[in-house]
Chains A and B, each alone.
Chain A
Amino acid sequence: MESKKTRKELIVSALENGTVIDHIPSKNVFQVIKILGLDSFDNQILFGTNLDSRRYGKKGIIKVKNKFFEKEEINKIAIAAPSATLIVIRDFEIIEKKAVEVPEVVDKFIKCINPNCVTNHENIPTRFAVIDKDAIKLQCHYCEKTTSKENFIFI
């Protein structure tokens, strides 16, 4: 246990400036990478998945050098991985450590499940109200239908 813990801290502190996204459910690591557009990002990125976690059994982690996420990006992380923690690092110091928060409104990055929704036919950014923050249920601002977590398609 002790050696694992030390190693984990080493990975985190190895970042001079940037952000660590910790406590991502293992199966969602690649999804988070994709929705944040990190797969086409030029900065140094380290990520791991199926790592041991005392809190969750297994977890994933993503570390991005010289990147500080904006509100909209944090909202995306919160929807894909509501259990995630953001650790902001400057000069090897942890400046901020906070759990992501599920937003009231989800704009632009989830597809509405309703095939007959106008957003799936016209060039319209999607918009949802979060009607259940625990189960993450979204109600489409346009067609008023509900899209649940298991049906999320990120756009």
Chain B
Amino acid sequence: MKNRSLVSINDYSKEEYLKILDIAEEFEKNPKQKILENYVVATLFFEPSTRTRLSFESAVNQLGGKVIGFTDAASSSVKKGESLKDTIKTVANYSDLIVMRHPLEGSARFASEVSAVPIINAGDGANQHPTQCLLDLYSIRKTQGKLDNLHIAFVGDLKYGRTVHSNVIALANFNCTFHFVSPFELKLPSAVKRHIKEKNLEYHQYTDLNEVIPFVDILYMTRIQRERFSDPVEYERVKNAYILNGNMLGNCKPNMKVLHPLPRVNEINENVDDMKEAYYFQQARNGVYVRQALMASILGIK
């Protein structure tokens, strides 16, 4: 993976992301190694995303690397009208690796074509956010001991949630059974289902969250946003149907874990937080190890 950009989850093979997960395990055991001491990582956030930025910066800092960059476009030369190409080409002179977040879809792909240093996409509009996907795979494998033969439920906004799309595409490489729980208006798009069908895997669709809880290994919750509904009455009707409450978990499997990409609003009641099924904060922590593993691989250190 040395010197290769990661823009879309499809850029790496199954073997390659398993390799990243293995390296991430090493970092989980020993996250503070001074292996990036001679490296500069640029974090270019053309739109703010505090959580993702801090996760990357923590990953670099714990490995002894230096971080340069900006936290939103308003504090950069973009405001003066500089093109994306010029920004990337310039910053590539100052750094060994660029992590970028941008509101426009395709921006990271374009950056990877003009940049002299590798690019890690930390989210390009509604398109891709591959490191979120990798950390989700890591979390699933860590809690279940494997990625094959699992029953995985995705809950909430399956239509617009890019995290769900990338995860489904990546998990279709493993022999999983998918369970999609969403309001009718926010069903998984057929372009994403195509990846499941191509691999001849099974999927089922539900509108009732309670139905899947007894038999799934992973319950992946996402937020339903009001602005996704053309009819506000429809939103009011469904908004409470996709909220996970602690008392709903009574008959779940003993190995079942609840994941969420965060930030959460109200879709997981706080009474779940202290239950053994809650894994979302650990999941966020795993993001640091996975990003360490990815950056170390791309820089050719691991």
Contact = CB atoms under 8 A, between A and B. Distances in A.
Contact of B105 (A123, A124, A144, A146): A144
Contacts of B124: 118, 143
B105 A114 contact: yes
Contacts of B126: 116
A25 B185 CA distance: 38
A119 B113 CA distance: 13
Contact of B125 (A112, A116, A140, A146): A116
Nearest to A146: B191
B191 A118 contact: no
A108 interface: no
A141 B109 contact: yes
Nearest to A140: B106
Contacts of B103: 116
A119 B124 CA distance: 13
Nearest to A119: B106
A145 B105 contact: yes
Question: Contact residue range for chain B?
Answer: 10 to 19
A144 B8 contact: yes
B229 interface: no
Contact of A117 (B85, B106, B128): B106
B191 A142 contact: no
Nearest to A120: B104
Interface residues of A, number: 17
Contacts of B83: 122-123
A144 B166 CA distance: 12
A8 B173 CA distance: 56
A142 B105 contact: yes
Contact of A116 (B8, B85, B104): B104
B107 A118 contact: yes
Nearest to B102: A118
Contacts of A143: 104-106, 124-125, 127
B110 interface: yes
B46 to A, nearest CB: 11
Contacts of A117: 104-106
Contacts of A112: 106
Interface in B77-131: 83-85, 102-107, 109-110, 124-128
Interface of B: 8, 83-85, 102-107, 109-110, 124-128, 191
Given A118-B84, A142-B106, 16 more contacts: A116-B103, A116-B105, A118-B102, A118-B104, A118-B109, A119-B110, A122-B83, A122-B85, A122-B104, A124-B85, A142-B109, A143-B104, A143-B105, A143-B124, A144-B8, A146-B191
